[in-house]
Amino acid sequence: MNHILNTINWIKNDYTSYPVRFSVELMAWGITIGCSVVMALTVPNPPLFELYIVWIVGCIMYTWAAWTRGSFGMLANYIALTLIDSFGLYRIIISG
């Protein structure tokens, strides 16, 4: 039970220390979960063009949050995902 209370306090402290970042991370989390659900529900023909756009926006939001948090691992991860998925979106666009 103590772990749950510690987690709740950590979330409160995170929000209190930087409410804008907390809100951006929460929105980015919702975006990525939403994209995953849409992908799973629309297989084998997911709307990749639309999903890529929304997913990339979420990755950019996470990139900013990682920068402001000072988290190198998250920053490197979301920069990489943004670049990889932007390349995928580019390929969809040029393939018509």
Contact 89, 60 (CB under 8 A): no
Does 1 have pLDDT greater than 90?
A: no
Does 77 have pLDDT greater than 90?
A: yes
pLDDT tens digits, residue range 35-73?
999 999 999 999 999 999 999 999 999 999 999 999 999
**Run of H or E residues at 77:** helix 72-95
Q: Give me the pLDDT at residue 43, please.
A: 97
What is the mean pLDDT of the segment spanning 74-85? 98
The share of the chain scoring above pLDDT 90, in percent, equals: 98
